[in-house]
Chain A
């Protein structure tokens, strides 16, 4: 991972010959994207390890216990997506603002700080028991550890805040001095929101209900709130570039999508407040508002297809267009449809915390966020490497990787959904309900199938990486 990133780091000062970049400083996005892909590989490897632990309980035990593998899998996901968003920010904000980035040097320094902090954290997870890590990093002084997705040591969290501040300072200064577009405004709103809501990870009340209540202010208001703004802005940026459709049209869509996201998503947080000790009105509020959360995702699908249909140019980067359309479809399915499946309180009463949740989590994160980052990388990386689009051969390989990963993810989702339905039935609905572990044993068949689909996903990801290295000779 690190070597990939450093290789890219050496190339961050673009040669003057790179005519594809409107602003030289956009090239700072390259190491961010490279690191994102590297960490993505790590995430999938740990996903495969964990998938195997579902069926072979002591696989790699005690070196990598299940809880550690899970923590690494989810934390790497978040960190690589953050790298992707940051790269996207550094790439698109100068272009939208029509000026160079405020400080490219700061962006590179921030990159190394973030990468080293992230790597040290993962090494910490793997090298010492979690409790020891908490002790070593002074968690007693300001306890923030031990919560799902927010397992990072307090010191890492402080580092994330500093990195985010440096990143936001750099981009905000660029936007303030330059042209303001709705794409850059929505992107900045999303990124500032991301940083602000992360601050709730430092609030760790003793009361478990309050703890969970505010924990969702990070987790939900990220993925079903401000991240959707970032996603909308990234998608709009790529669509403006590859379709040549009027900005006015794209901006109107963007505003409507953002309005829908906020109307449904903010109070939609309530769908996490069922059965955790919060007042009962959340069941009604959470159900009603979150039932409409698929709408902005569906509009994103319509948006992507509409813009591509109305395109005024044939962009040579077909792979980027495919990723953009794929993001629209898969985010609607994963986040919208699979989210709706278990968002209504009476349904969630039975499905809460089962494999149904896991199936939704997988397809939503892949369809919305992993894919939008890959859309951006697919569009921007060739430009940063000095060509409008990759060679035909490279694009064919990339499209293969798109289909392998996407179809594999559909199957992962379907297998987990099947497992989830059976789990609900055997554990919670039957006349003689089984215990949690007895149920898990009966689901082994589906977990094996899921692992198989996971291997196909991994092959797709490897092909994706290979696509960066093939067909250089016939570059356009």
Chain B
């Protein structure tokens, strides 16, 4: 291609290595979960039927809105509109907080009902995957907060790599959620 786009990944390359490792861990856990499901179809079907799909959909909407917000933040910084970009980062944080509250409430209710990692194979995978993912949302929020704070100090006026790095991580967290949602809530 004669007028190819410059070949670079957005954000910091180190973050992409990190993302790759994260996806590999989740990939292995998904594979193990799929195998367990194949081994115990009745157990998985029965437990899955009792999951609150509405909440999960709300959580999906929150995370995807967060992704849209952080995407808009990147575009705003690329166009030199730093103030708008910072507002988008805040919007992403709000979406993340909504997820953390909703999901935290759900997980809390499960623990209160006496469900734990040793209850059965379904709950082991459900809690492991949901729990690890939850921690990743929290880390994503820490990263976006750090970027939001640095943005307030004018750190991304000339180079907004940091924003793209945070966005890449947030998208990864979303991507994992989509697979997790499909595998745990809707797969038949």
Contacts and interface: CB of A to CB of B under 8 A. Distances in A.
A256 B18 CA distance: 7
12 contacts: A252-B13, A252-B14, A256-B17, A259-B14, A260-B17, A263-B18, A263-B21, A263-B22, A281-B118, A288-B25, A288-B28, A292-B28
A298 to B, nearest CB: 12
Interface string A68-91: 000000000000000000000000
B14 A287 contact: no
B40 interface: no
Contacts of B32: 284, 287-288
Contacts of A288: 25, 28-29, 32
Nearest to A345: B32
Contact of A284 (B13, B21, B22, B29): B29
A144 to B, nearest CB: 30
Interface in A245-289: 252, 255-256, 259-260, 263-264, 279-281, 284-285, 287-289
A264 B28 contact: no
A168 interface: no
Contacts of A256: 14, 17-18
B117 A279 contact: yes
Interface residues of B, number: 16
Nearest to B24: A292
Interface in B25-45: 25, 28-29, 32
A288 B31 CA distance: 10
A255 B16 CA distance: 13
A284 B128 contact: yes
B115 interface: no
Interface residues of A, number: 19
Contacts of B124: 280-281, 284
Interface of B: 13-14, 17-18, 21-22, 24-25, 28-29, 32, 117-118, 124-125, 128
Given A279-B118, A281-B124, A292 B25 contact: yes
A263 B13 CA distance: 17
Contact of A285 (B13, B14, B24, B128): B128
B128 A259 contact: no
B2 to A, nearest CB: 30
Contacts of A281: 117-118, 124, 128
Interface centre among A252, A279, A285, A287 (most CB of B within 10 A): A285
A299 B22 CA distance: 16
Nearest to B123: A281
B29 A259 contact: no
A69 to B, nearest CB: 40
Contacts of B17: 256, 259-260, 299
Interface in A154-198: none
A295 B25 CA distance: 11
A291 B24 CA distance: 10
Across the A-B interface, give the 3 residue pairs with the lowest CB-CB distance, nearest first.
Answer: A288-B28, A281-B117, A256-B17
A259 B139 CA distance: 14
A343 to B, nearest CB: 11
Contacts of B118: 279-281
Contacts of B22: 263
Nearest to B32: A284
Contacts of B24: 292, 295
Contacts of B28: 287-288, 291-292
Contacts of A291: 28
B98 to A, nearest CB: 27
A292 B18 CA distance: 12
A256 B21 CA distance: 10
A259 B18 contact: yes
A280 B127 CA distance: 14
Contacts of A259: 14, 17-18, 21
A263 B17 CA distance: 12
Nearest to A299: B17
Nearest to B22: A263
A285 B25 CA distance: 10
Interface string A209-236: 0000000000000000000000000000
A286 to B, nearest CB: 11
B21 A292 contact: yes
A253 to B, nearest CB: 9
Nearest to B12: A252
A288 B18 CA distance: 16
B21 A255 contact: no
B117 to A, nearest CB: 5
Contacts of A260: 17-18, 21
Given A279-B117, A280-B124, A284-B125, A264 B25 contact: yes
A255 B28 CA distance: 24
Given A281-B118, A284-B124, A284-B128, A295 B21 contact: yes
B25 A289 contact: yes
B125 to A, nearest CB: 7
Contacts of B125: 284
A246 to B, nearest CB: 15
A264 B21 contact: yes
A336 to B, nearest CB: 14
B75 to A, nearest CB: 27
Nearest to A295: B21
A260 B32 CA distance: 21
Nearest to B29: A288
Contacts of B21: 259-260, 263-264, 292, 295
A348 to B, nearest CB: 14
A132 B13 CA distance: 58
Contacts of B14: 252, 255-256, 259
A252 B165 CA distance: 15
Nearest to A285: B128
Given A263-B22, A285-B128, 19 more contacts: A252-B13, A255-B14, A256-B14, A259-B14, A260-B18, A263-B18, A264-B21, A279-B118, A281-B128, A284-B29, A284-B32, A284-B128, A287-B28, A288-B29, A288-B32, A289-B25, A292-B28, A295-B21, A299-B17
